[in-house]
Amino acid sequence: MTDTNYKLLVNNIHLTDPETIDTPPDTAVNKYKFTMGTKIHTKKEYNITKTIYHSKVNLQLDTNITTTKIVPFWELASSSSNTNITIGRIVLNITFNTTANNSTKPKMLRLVGSIPANSDIDSSLTKTSDTNLESNILGTNASIYKSNFYIKGRNVTSTGTTFKHIIDLNKGFNSPDTKKYALGLEVNEVPAATTKITLDSYIELRS
């Protein structure tokens, strides 16, 4: 097949999602539901292939939740043993579905990931029924990747308020023995009031 160079003149380019995924139903206190899209889209520029995944999570945090509990929002099965990946840009659209004042919690949730050098996640993390947040769901908590990116608490006075967070992570992960890679949000500060959240996420892999 021979490549042909074309010149494309457009005002803008809009890449639509390859599929629509439903938001999981509401959850009970300190529970979550998590779904991943089954389709991806890719683009290549500067000889870098970017593969983009889409996921949605619903969770509810109460004032009795303990720190280090984690809600996963992305997973990927390794295609072969001892595989390396690089996670590039992450877009988190966080919608608050309750009115609550968590403005005194500047580091309420922390971006975390599976163990960078040797992920040990065996089972799928997606859940269609209410599931407890766990500290070791991405691996032994003391060994998992803990970023310097935090989701701050907000004073939400209107339900359905959404905030967008864009993180250029550019972090490498390894998965021996065809384990899974995963990302999540860890409770770093206990919320001041019951907080319901919908998390709509896009995760970019670079190769």
The CATH code of the domain that includes 78 is 2.60.120
Q: Does 152 map to a domain?
A: yes
Closest CA to 188 of 106, 101, 108, 77: 108
What does the alpha-carbon distance between residue 190 and residue 61 come to, in Å, rounded to a whole number? 8
Q: Does 58 map to a domain?
A: yes
Domain holding 138, by residue range, is 43-206
Please tell me the total count of domains within the chain.
Answer: 1
Higher-pLDDT residue of 46, 1: 46
Q: Does 49 map to a domain?
A: yes
Look up residue 152 and give its DSSP letter.
Answer: P
What does the alpha-carbon distance between residue 104 and residue 38 come to, in Å, rounded to a whole number? 38
What does the alpha-carbon distance between residue 95 and residue 146 come to, in Å, rounded to a whole number? 23
What does the alpha-carbon distance between residue 133 and residue 152 come to, in Å, rounded to a whole number? 19
What pLDDT, on a 0 to 100 scale, did the predictor assign at position 207? 85
Q: Does 65 map to a domain?
A: yes
Q: Does 135 map to a domain?
A: yes
Q: Does 140 map to a domain?
A: yes
Q: Does 24 map to a domain?
A: no
Q: Does 170 map to a domain?
A: yes
pTM exceeds 0.85 for this model: yes
What pLDDT, on a 0 to 100 scale, did the predictor assign at position 80? 60
Judge whether residue 79 has pLDDT over 70: no
What pLDDT, on a 0 to 100 scale, did the predictor assign at position 17? 74
